[in-house]
Amino acid sequence: MFNFDELFDRKNTSSLKWDQFKERLKLQYNVEDASDILPMWVADMDFAIPQVVSDAIKERLDHPIFGYSYVSDECKNAIIGWFDRRHNWQIEPHTLMFHQGVVPALGTILETFTEPGDKICISTPVYPAFFSIPNAQKREVVECDLVLADDTMKFDFTELEEKFKSGVKVYVLCSPHNPGGVVWTREDLEQLVQLCIQYDVLLVSDEIHADIVFDGYKHIPTLTVKDADKAKIITCIAPTKTFNIAGVHAAIMVVPDKELRAKLNADKLAHGRDDLNVLAAAGVQAAYEKGDDWVDSMIAYVSNNLDYVVEELNKLDGIQATKPQSTYLIWIDYRETGLSESDMMHRLLEKGRLAIEPGTKYSEAGRGFLRMNVACPLEIVKDGVERFKTALL
């Protein structure tokens, strides 16, 4: 029904992944000509978006006027319907707030609820905006490393509590976790919520990866766990990873707490910020209303890609790859090769002609790891794996 094998030439589409990366590789790694390097880095997919989404945007384009707009009840109901259907989470319409992205939402939240010098705690390794934003806002980033056990990452709650005791204002959770693709259990989330209540910490739950979860795992929205209503929680959700529409720019904050909402509304007013633009709203509504089949098929396809990569990479000396529980991003452990990160990146880029992410991009805790994006046709995945092998020869 959906053809995820179809190859698209994304070059010259102002794509970060396929065009702008050449500049980055030149600056960061002195790569003079990256035109034959295969990009499997930033988290978007090389699949066509669901046709129901492009049709909805085209339909809106057919009306020749693009005046001021607002997010309709139909669009809000589509969002609510999706999270009810897919995550058994009943969101109240008045708790929805919109933003241009989860990263800018994080920026707004931290700016609204903290002051320069305040402590923001994160579990590392983690998506870089979790530290780059507080750093840019002159907040103090408190890193608490996740521990590796049973082929997955786990919280060290004792350590986390020690950090909270030192006066943390905000904890930013990545759920499911990027990188590593961990789906946190209900027990994990409950323990985290209890700690946030005990130490009066604002919990920001970034759930942008919630929809791409593999068999045997279930994403639990933080706001649905025990005592979530007694904690201060802001959850960020978005259709952008799920439906491959990051360039459309759309995110949603779910803010059940009245006082938190009032402060965020005051900040919105202070900055003259608007909700979703008219094309984004059309796409978001269609995605959440009609995108189920596409997402189910995409997950099955990506799962198969992951199985392939795990099997192939584990044949290589010193490489350990474990299938993530969520996300199309595979976290590869190369510590046993004995290679340094710069040696590894040099080999991947110069010999393999493959661009994947170095682990320290996700903090020092990521040293010895790589992150590879497999949300692309299997033919490209196979090419990527061959390049990886060549790099290690």
With respect to ligand PLP, which residue has the nearer C-beta, 40 or 246?
A: 246
Does 225 engage in binding with ligand PLP (CB under 6 A)?
no
d(CA 70, CA 274): 8
Q: Which of 109, 196, 208, 233 binds ligand PLP (CB under 6 A)?
A: 208
Does 203 engage in binding with ligand PLP (CB under 6 A)?
no
Quote the least distance from Cβ 140 to ligand PLP, whole Å: 21
Does 237 engage in binding with ligand PLP (CB under 6 A)?
no
Work out the widest C-alpha separation in the chain, in whole angstroms.
Answer: 60
Q: How many residues bind ligand PLP (CB under 6 A)?
A: 13
Quote the least distance from Cβ 126 to ligand PLP, whole Å: 8
Does 309 engage in binding with ligand PLP (CB under 6 A)?
no
With respect to ligand PLP, which residue has the nearer C-beta, 43 or 348?
A: 43
Q: Which of 91, 183, 246, 354 binds ligand PLP (CB under 6 A)?
A: 246
Q: Which of 176, 165, 167 is nearest to 123 (CA)?
A: 176
Strand order in the sheet with 119-124: 96-99, 251-254, 233-237, 202-206, 168-174, 119-124, 140-145
d(CA 179, CA 184): 13
Q: Measured at CB, which residue is nearest to ligand PLP?
A: 101
**For residue 227, which phi and psi values (nearest 5 degrees)?**
70, 10
Q: Which of 238, 279, 287, 302 binds ligand PLP (CB under 6 A)?
A: 238
With respect to ligand PLP, which residue has the nearer C-beta, 57 or 319?
A: 57
Quote the least distance from Cβ 43 to ligand PLP, whole Å: 4
Quote the least distance from Cβ 174 to ligand PLP, whole Å: 5
Q: Which of 108, 114, 178, 205 binds ligand PLP (CB under 6 A)?
A: 178
Task: Tell me the window of 17-25, 97-105, 342-350, 352-360 that interacts with ligand PLP (CB under 6 A).
Answer: 97-105
Q: Which of 97, 72, 57 is nearest to 273 (CA)?
A: 97
Q: Which of 96, 102, 264, 376 binds ligand PLP (CB under 6 A)?
A: 102
Does 235 engage in binding with ligand PLP (CB under 6 A)?
no
With respect to ligand PLP, which residue has the nearer C-beta, 50 or 107?
A: 107
Does 212 engage in binding with ligand PLP (CB under 6 A)?
no
Q: Which of 127, 131, 214, 294 binds ligand PLP (CB under 6 A)?
A: 127
Does 101 engage in binding with ligand PLP (CB under 6 A)?
yes
Query: Under the rule (CB under 6 A), what is the footprint of ligand PLP?
Result: 43, 101-103, 127, 174, 178, 206, 208, 238, 240, 246, 251
